[in-house]
Amino acid sequence: MKRVLLALLAFFGVAFIAAGVVIPTYLVPKLKVVPLDLDITSVATTVAPQGETGNRFPAVIFDRCSVTKKKAAVFDAHLTQQRRSVIVDPSDENQATLQSAQTVRIDRVRDAAGKERDLTMATEGDRPCDDALLTATVDRVSVDRKTSVPNGKVSSLQLEAVPEGGKVDDASVHIDDRKGFQYKFGFGVQKREYYYYDLLTRQDTAAKFVDEKVIDGVTTYHFQTEVPETDLSNLPDPAGEAPLGTILNMPASWWGITGKGVKAKDMVEMHRYGASVRNVYVEPTTGTIVYGYEEQHQYFKSPDDSTDNPRAIRDFRMDALKATFAWSDETASQQADRAKHYLNLLKWGGTYAPIVLIAVGAVLLLLWLFLVWRGRKRPTGGDVPDAPVDDPDQTSVLPAPAVGTDIAESPGRQAEEPYVHAQPYAPYGPADETPTTAYAAPGAYTFDPASYGDPDHQRPTFADPYAPPADTTVIPAQPQWQPGPDSEWAPQSHVAPSPLDDTTTGAFPLPEHDPTRPMPGPEQYPNS
């Protein structure tokens, strides 16, 4: 069981550390891609110019119904721009195709006379000139999932509704050489210029870093791009012609142009131009656009700037759309939450999870090392106690059994009974197989005071210290320890005789003159 525990500690310790190293290098790059479940809905409304408040009609739009009237007209209006971006096919692990449908709706208008009214959107049939839908487009673009840069596989703009039974391609125009970001920046945004694609003028523009700003607790980089004036009639529709509403050829009186060299009935052709200033606030780690606003200006003017054209015509401008669109607070809050979610995923995958896994793995390995070190220092083996430090041979003395009990063999260990020692081998020969009697400790001597008056002066009597008591128990024979010269505490009467100890009278010759014998008489030495 202990070996299994050690193996598990080592395995999980190494596994956790390996996971802590692999996650930042493998999992985090997997997180730094355009998600295939992307679904973003943004809402922007027209707002008053900076410093102005309380304007219910902050935008200006061209009155399309005035085309059939005697004079061109514009409205003050309130507009709402809505855009939904989702992932569509073809999308895989390398690319993501975004489809973004965008509409601009007219909420309410006010004419030159101050009359206000709300507009509604037609649901079927031909759209009237005062329909609430101002513009509608569907953009499709495929991007590299790692860089968020268009890869050119899919790049089209749908300008018209697809008729029943028709094809999307028939109502779309292909856009070549698209390079800039549009719905999302790449990961790791820096404080420098980036390409940003402008859908209205179909061109890449330079987005320049401006400053930092915190929006709903998220630090963002503010980028600004200026879209130069562009003749929108030069951007062809699916049929290869100028889009509807980008060229108007009307009498000078309809335009309201008067001046030298201009007659009221002269037909004057005007083209629709567009320019804008766009501001986006990007969370730099994930590239999520948290907030944005743009100043759009579309207007009619003459494409002929030559001096041959009357000055009154060259200088003429009429607004077709002038508005500042700003994302709603709800949209900004949703995008901020989205950015926080992506940031938390990256922090957990790139920082928190690796630190926790490596720390847990290190603790498990340290615990494994400690248990291995402890096991080597203190071997295990049943209930035998550890040997003392000063007993390297581990021959510790075990307590001897009490008198009257059997003495079990214990090779390498000796009993502590005062008068009986057990060793596996006798130093002077084979072990004594005769039964061994365990004697009690010597008793006290007995003294009879009356013996001092005994005429024979008998000595006090002593109890035989080695006489076995009546309740002596004979235990099985044990190998007997034969004391050496320094072991005087064991009674010699119970010691096996040494083979060198021969006490017979012939073992040691008497001296030449025995001092115990009587002196010889003269009769023994007649010649003396």
| Six token digits for residue 245 | 């509403």
Give the DSSP H/E element, type plus range, for residue 182. none
Query: CB under 8 Å to 297, separation ≥6 — which residues?
Result: 274, 275, 276, 319, 321, 322
pTM score: 0.67
CB 320 within 8 Å of CB 45: no
The answer to whether the CB of 251 falls within 8 A of the CB of 267 is: yes
Q: Which residue has the tokens 């802590």?
A: 20
Q: What is the structure's pLDDT at 426?
A: 47
Amino acid in position 373: W
* Neighbouring C-beta atoms of residue 42, cutoff 10 Å: 22
pLDDT score for 386: 52
Burial class (CB in 10 A: 0-12, 13-18, 19+), 137: middle
Contact 290, 189 (CB under 8 A): no
Is the CB of residue 336 less than 8 Å from the CB of residue 217? Answer: yes
User: Which among 105, 91, 93, 88 is positioned nearest to 139, based on CA atoms?
Assistant: 88
Q: And the tokens for 195?
A: 């390409």
Write down the pLDDT at residue 288: 95
* Mean pLDDT, contiguous 10-residue spans, the chain (528 residues): 78 79 73 88 90 82 95 96 95 95 96 92 82 95 95 94 86 93 95 96 96 96 97 94 94 95 94 97 96 96 94 95 96 95 82 78 82 72 51 52 48 46 48 52 51 53 57 54 51 51 51 56 54
Q: What share of the chain is helix, strand, coil (3-state, %, to 5)?
A: 20, 30, 50
| φ and ψ at residue 310, rounded to 5 degrees | -55, 145
- How is residue 89 annotated by DSSP? S
3 state SS of 395: coil
Handedness of CA 499, 504, 506, 510 (dihedral sign): positive
Distance CA 296, CA 279 (A): 11
Would you tell me how many other CB atoms lie within 10 Å of the CB of residue 140? 18
Two tokens, residue 432: 């004594």
What are the CA-CA distances from residue 388 to residues 29, 143, 397 (Å)?
Answer: 60, 76, 11
**Sole residue written with tokens 């049943």:** 382
Place of tokens 């131009």: 273
Rounded distance between C-alpha atoms, residue 140 and residue 99, angstroms? 4
Q: How far is residue 57's CA from residue 29's CA, in Å, rounded to a whole number? A: 47
User: From CA 395, how far away is CA 392, in angstroms rounded?
Assistant: 8
Q: What is the pLDDT of residue 528?
A: 47
For the chain, the maximum distance between any two Cα atoms, rounded to a whole number of angstroms, is 202
Q: 3-state secondary structure string, 202-256? A: CEEEEEEEEEEEEECCEEEEEEEEEEEEEEHHHCCCCCCCCCCCCEEEEEHHHHC
Instruction: Give the residue carrying structure tokens 């050829």.
Output: 249
User: Is the distance from CB of 134 to CB of 108 less than 8 angstroms?
Assistant: no
Q: What pLDDT sits at residue 421?
A: 46
Question: Which of 233, 227, 243, 226 lies closest to 302 in space, CA to CA?
Answer: 233
